[in-house]
Amino acid sequence: MGPALWLALGGLLGLAELLEGRLVREEEAGFGECDRFFYAGTPPAGLAAAAHVKICQRSGGAERFATLYSTRDRIPVYSAFRAARPAPLGSEQRWLVEPQIDDPSSNLEEVTEEADATTSANSLGGKQALNADYLGSDYERGQLYPFSLSGDSPTATFTLTNAAPMTPSFQKRWYMNLHSLMDRALTPQCGGGDELYILTGAVPSDLRVRGRVSVPEFVWLAACCAVPGGGWAMGFVQHPRDAEVIEDVMVKELEKLLPYNPQLFQNNCGETEQDTEKMKKILEVVNQVQEEERMVQSKGSARGTRSALLPPEPAGERSSLLGKLLGFIATPLIKLCQLIYCLAIGVLKYVVYFLWFVTKQVIHGIESSLYRLGSATISYFLTIGEELASIPWKVLKVVVRITRAILRILCCLLKVVCRVLGIPVRVLVDVATFPVYTIGAVPIVCRDIAVGLGGIISLLFDTAFGTMGGLFQAIFTVCKWIGYKMTFDNPGEL
C-alpha cells in the first residue's frame, strides 16, 4: 500500500476524531505551568479517570489556579490554589465557560463568555455545565475557589468549571466557613500563607440538576503548610444539610472519604516534620467557627439580605421576569441548533467511519491475498529446491546399495569355488593318510587280541577250579548230613 493512500486514510481518521471533539487526557501527566499550585509540584495521585479533564485556569495571560473537572458529573473534582488573599470588591462578574472541553480544536485558549463560545466552539455544553442548567432551579453556582479569596484576579474564578450546584443557604455557610478558616486559622499558622497549598473539592451524588449537573454530596477542603520545620496538614468536610457544621478531619481520614481513595499531598505534606502545636491552635479556631455557625443557624439570619462574601449577581440574572422568559425561549432554540449541528456532525462522522472501515477491509483483503500468494510461491520454490538438493544424495545411496550387492555376489561365488575345490583335496588327504593309520593300528590290534586270549584262558581256569570246588563241597555236605542222620536214629548204640 502506497504512502499516499496511508496519508489519505490518516487524514480521514484525524478529521473524524476532530469532528467528534475528542480530548487527549494523559492520566499520569501534570497540569503543566499550573503545577506550582500543588505541594512539591505534584497533583493528587489516584484521581485519574477517563471522564476527568485537567484544566490550567488562565486569565489575563497568566495562570490563576488548577482544576480537575469531571465531564460526566459536570462539576469540578477539585480546584487547587496557593496563598489566598482577599479580593477587592469591584464590578459584577459574568460566568464563563471553557470552550476546549467540548471542542479541543477551538482557538479560544482562555475562559470566555458563553455567548462568544457558542459561535466559535462546537457542541458547547456536551461535557460541561452551562448557565441554562441553573436557570429556574433551586441551586446557585457555588465556587470551590471563591472569588473573594482570589486576590487580584477574581474573574478567573467565575468559570462554570469551578462551580458546583449549592443551595443559597449552603453556599453562604461554605463561603463564611472558608473565610473564617483562612483568615483566622490557616493563613496565620503558616507564616502569612506564602507556603500554603489549598485543595477544595466536591464529591458528586446521584441527584442532578436538570438531569445534567450533579449536586455534591459534600464539599471538602485540604490544606498543606510547607513551612520548613513548622508545617502541618489539615482536612475539612462540609455537608449541605442545614443542621450540620463544618467538620475537621485528618488528611488521611479525608482521603478515605473521597472516591478512588487518593493521596492528596505527596508524602502526606511532610508528615514526619509536622508541627502539632500549630495544629492544636488551628483546631481551637475550628471549634470557634463551629460554635459561630451553630449560633447563626439557631438565630436564623435574615434570608432577604445577601452576604458580601457571595459572588455578585450578573446583571442578566438580576433582570426582570422578561429577561428570564427570554432566556427560557432562547435556550431551547440554541439547544435545537446544537442538536441539529450535532446530528449533522454525527452523520458525517459515521459516514467517514464507514468509508474508513470499508477501505480498511479492502486493504486488509488485498494484503491477505498478497500474503497468501507470496507464501504459496515461496513454499513451491522451497519444495523444488529441497527435491533438487536431495537428488545427489539419493544417487549416492543407490550407488552404495549396488556396490554392496555386487560385493555380496562375489563373496558367494568365492564360497562356491572354495567348496568345489575342497572335495578332491579331502579325498587325497584321506588316501595318503590310510597306510599310516593302518600300520599304526596293527600293534594295537595285536595287543587287543592277546589281551582277549589271556582273558579267555583265565576264564577257563576259573571255571574249572570253581566247578571242582563246588563238587567237593556238595559231596562233603551230603556225607555230613548222612552222618548226622545216623547218629540221631541209634542213640543207644553210641
Q: How confident is the model at residue 3 (pLDDT cuts 50, 70, 90)?
A: very low
263 DSSP 8-state letter? B
Are 133 and 213 a contacting pair, CB within 8 Å?
yes
> What is the C-alpha R_g of the chain?
61
* pLDDT tens, position by position, 129-167: 998 889 888 899 999 998 877 765 677 888 999 999 999
pLDDT (mean) for 448-469: 86
Output the average pLDDT for the chain. Answer: 81
pLDDT (mean) for 25-29: 48
pLDDT (mean) for 447-467: 86
Q: How confident is the model at residue 95 (pLDDT cuts 50, 70, 90)?
A: confident
Q: Has residue 49 got a pLDDT over 80?
A: yes
Are 103 and 122 a contacting pair, CB within 8 Å?
yes
* pLDDT tens, position by position, 383-418: 898 888 889 988 999 999 999 999 999 999 988 888
Distance (Å) of CA 369 to CA 9, 18, 127, 358? 21, 33, 45, 17
Q: How confident is the model at residue 462 (pLDDT cuts 50, 70, 90)?
A: confident
**How would you label 23-47 residue by residue, b for 16+ Cβ within 10 Å and e otherwise?**
eeeeeeeebeebbebbbeeebbeeb
191 DSSP 8-state letter? T
Q: What pLDDT score was predicted for residue 355?
A: 93
Q: What is the dihedral of CA 208, 209, 213, 218, to 10 degrees?
A: -60
Q: Rounded distance, CA 84 to CA 149, Å? A: 5
Diameter over CA atoms, the chain: 202
pLDDT (mean) for 373-392: 89
Q: How confident is the model at residue 89 (pLDDT cuts 50, 70, 90)?
A: low
Share of the chain above pLDDT 70, in %: 81
**SS3 assignment, position 296:** helix
Q: Rounded distance, CA 212 to CA 135, Å? A: 13
All three cell numbers of 262:
487518593
Looking at 71-195, which runs of residues are DSSP E strands?
Answer: 75-81, 96-97, 112-113, 140-143, 163-166
Tell which wins on pLDDT, 199 or 119: 199
* pLDDT tens, position by position, 288-314: 888 888 887 777 644 444 555 555 555
Q: Rounded distance, CA 170 to CA 177, Å? A: 10
All three cell numbers of 302:
435574615
**SS3 assignment, position 75:** strand
Antiparallel, parallel or unpaired: β 112-113 and 163-166: unpaired
All three cell numbers of 493:
548204640
**SS3 assignment, position 69:** strand
Q: Name the most confidently modeled range: 53-57, 130-134, 217-221, 337-341.
A: 217-221
Q: What pLDDT score was predicted for residue 321?
A: 52
Q: What pLDDT score was predicted for residue 492?
A: 55
pLDDT (mean) for 185-199: 89
Q: What pLDDT score was predicted for residue 436?
A: 75
Q: What pLDDT score was predicted for residue 490?
A: 60
Q: What pLDDT score was predicted for residue 125?
A: 83
Question: pTM for this structure?
Answer: 0.58
Q: Name the most confidently modeled range: 26-30, 90-94, 321-325, 467-471.
A: 467-471
Q: Rounded distance, CA 480 to CA 470, Å? A: 15
Nearest to 265 by CA among 203, 221, 217: 221
* pLDDT tens, position by position, 117-128: 777 777 888 889
